[in-house]
Amino acid sequence: MDWIEKEKNLIVPVYKRKEVIFERGEGCYLYDIHGKRYLDLVSGIACVAIGHSHPEFVEKVYSQLKKLVQVSNLYYTIPQIILAEKLKKITGMDKFFFCNSGTEAVEASLKFARKATGKKKFVAFTNGFHGRTMGALSVTYKEKFRKPFEPLVQPVEFAKFNDASDLEKKVDENTAAVILELIQGEAGVYPASEEFVKTIFELKEEYGYLVIVDEVQTGFGRTGKWFAKEHYDVEPDIIAMAKAMGSGFPIGCSAVTEEVAEKLEKGDHGSTFGGNPLACAASIATIEIIEKYKLVENSEKMGKYFMERLGEMFSEVRGKGLMIGVKVPNAEEIVKKGLEQGVVLNATSEDNLRLVPPLIIRKEDIDLAVEVLAKILR
Ligand X SMILES: Cc1ncc(COP(=O)(O)O)c(C=O)c1O
Q: Which residue is nearest to ligand X (CB)?
A: 102
Interacting residue with ligand X among 40, 107, 181, 300 (CB under 6 A):
181
Site for ligand X in 297-326 (CB under 6 A): none
Distance CA 136, CA 106 (A): 6
Considering beta carbons, is residue 271 or 341 the nearer one to ligand X? 271
Dihedral angle sign, alpha carbons of residues 346, 352, 358, 364: positive
Distance CA 61, CA 58 (A): 5
Cα atoms in the 13 Å half-sphere on the side-chain side of 273: 10
- The total of other beta-carbon atoms located within 10 Å of residue 208's CB is 12
Residue 175 touches ligand X, criterion: CB under 6 A: no
Distance CA 353, CA 96 (A): 33
Interacting residue with ligand X among 27, 51, 102, 246 (CB under 6 A):
102
**Segment lying near ligand X (by CB under 6 A), choices 66-74, 98-106, 283-291, 355-363:** 98-106
DSSP SS3 for 166: helix
The DSSP secondary-structure symbol of 326 reads E
The 58-97 site mask, x for binding ligand X (CB under 6 A), equals ----------------------------------------
Closest separation in Å from C-beta 284 to ligand X: 19
Interacting residue with ligand X among 91, 101, 117, 299 (CB under 6 A):
101
**Segment lying near ligand X (by CB under 6 A), choices 74-82, 171-179, 214-222, 336-344:** 214-222
Residue 51 touches ligand X, criterion: CB under 6 A: no
Q: Is the peptide bond before 155 cis (omega within 30 degrees of 0)?
A: yes
Residue 129 touches ligand X, criterion: CB under 6 A: yes
**Segment lying near ligand X (by CB under 6 A), choices 71-79, 180-188, 328-336, 356-364:** 180-188
Q: Which of 50, 107, 129 is nearest to 348 (CA)?
A: 129
Interacting residue with ligand X among 51, 79, 185, 236 (CB under 6 A):
185
Distance CA 286, CA 220 (A): 9
Distance CA 64, CA 50 (A): 19
Distance CA 112, CA 93 (A): 14
Distance CA 240, CA 254 (A): 5
Closest separation in Å from C-beta 173 to ligand X: 27
Q: Is the peptide bond before 358 cis (omega within 30 degrees of 0)?
A: no
List all residues 6 or more positions away from 203 whose beta carbon is below 8 Å from its beta carbon.
167, 168, 171, 178, 209
Closest separation in Å from C-beta 215 to ligand X: 8
Considering beta carbons, is residue 40 or 214 the nearer one to ligand X? 214
Interacting residue with ligand X among 80, 91, 103, 127 (CB under 6 A):
103
Say which amino acid occupies 223. T
Closest separation in Å from C-beta 242 to ligand X: 5
Spatial contact of 320 and 223, defined as CB atoms under 8 Å apart = yes
Considering beta carbons, is residue 45 or 68 the nearer one to ligand X? 45
Closest separation in Å from C-beta 131 to ligand X: 4
Considering beta carbons, is residue 167 or 323 the nearer one to ligand X? 323
Distance CA 374, CA 378 (A): 6
Distance CA 283, CA 119 (A): 33
Closest separation in Å from C-beta 363 to ligand X: 27
Considering beta carbons, is residue 43 or 376 the nearer one to ligand X? 43
Closest separation in Å from C-beta 216 to ligand X: 3
Closest separation in Å from C-beta 96 to ligand X: 17
Considering beta carbons, is residue 186 or 300 the nearer one to ligand X? 186
Closest separation in Å from C-beta 234 to ligand X: 17
The DSSP secondary-structure symbol of 352 reads E
Distance CA 196, CA 186 (A): 20
Tell me the site size for ligand X, rule CB under 6 A.
Answer: 15
The DSSP secondary-structure symbol of 148 reads G
Which residues of the shown chain bind ligand X in the complex (CB under 6 A)? 45, 101-103, 106, 129-131, 181, 185-186, 214, 216-217, 242
